[in-house]
């Protein structure tokens, strides 16, 4: 859900949601969190595929697991498979978009305002990517463009000289 939330987000394992106090995480749990496995799990449910960064910092002598979740790059992230969670838990629905709300809950987008926000960001990101591509093309081909402009200037200069010469000898015109 942080993937479709502006600026992404951060999942911190080892901090209680209720009062933000630190909890103990067993060492074997900390060591079992492998970025490759986490991203592989995400790829099972996220389309287009995404990658998160995973860190294991120590705070006040306790280990935390921090998963940095980036905002989508150009296309919003769609849930591509249904996930049946445990009883009393929200499940993921194939074809749904998810965001984090003001209460830090993962929710399916069901309000036009939220969908419009996600789509507007996608359009802006796509526009920015297009501008970068055009800029890259101009940078890459500027020498070719410059050579074409020089050739055009030479052609115009040559036509002008011929025109002047022909005008001097009888008024013929080149187009």
**CA-based angle 109:117:75, to the nearest 5?**
80
Q: Which residues contact 4 (CB under 8 A, 6 or more apart)?
A: 71, 72, 76, 77, 97, 98, 99, 109, 118
pTM of the model: 0.64
Q: For 112-166, write each residue's pLDDT tens digit.
A: 999 999 999 999 999 898 898 988 887 877 766 667 677 777 778 877 877 777 7
Q: Which residues contact 13 (CB under 8 A, 6 or more apart)?
A: 25, 33, 64, 65, 66, 67
Q: What is the pLDDT of residue 121?
A: 92
Q: For 86-113, write each residue's pLDDT tens digit.
A: 765 668 889 999 888 888 788 899 999 9
Answer whether 92's CB lies under 8 Å from 45's CB.
yes
- Strand 58-59 relative to strand 53-55, pairing: unpaired
SS3 of residue 66 by DSSP? strand
Dist. CA 87–CA 103, nearest whole Å:
21
């Amino acid at each position: 859900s942080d993937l479709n939330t502006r600026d992404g987000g951060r999942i911190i394992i080892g901090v209680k949601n209720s009062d933000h106090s630190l909890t103990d995480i067993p060492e074997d749990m900390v060591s079992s969190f492998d970025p490759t496995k986490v991203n592989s799990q995400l790829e099972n449910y996220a389309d287009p595929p995404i990658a998160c960064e995973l860190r294991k910092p120590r705070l006040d002598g306790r280990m935390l697991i921090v998963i940095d979740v980036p905002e989508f790059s150009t296309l919003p992230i769609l849930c591509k498979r249904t996930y049946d969670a445990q009883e009393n838990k929200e499940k993921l629905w194939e074809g749904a978009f998810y965001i984090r709300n003001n209460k830090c809950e993962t929710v399916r987008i069901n309000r036009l305002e939220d969908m419009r926000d996600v789509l507007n960001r996608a359009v802006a990101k796509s526009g920015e990517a297009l501008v970068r591509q055009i800029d890259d093309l101009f940078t890459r081909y500027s020498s070719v463009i410059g050579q074409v402009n020089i050739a055009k200037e030479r052609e115009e200069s040559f036509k002008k000289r011929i025109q002047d010469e022909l005008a001097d000898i009888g008024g013929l015109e080149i187009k």
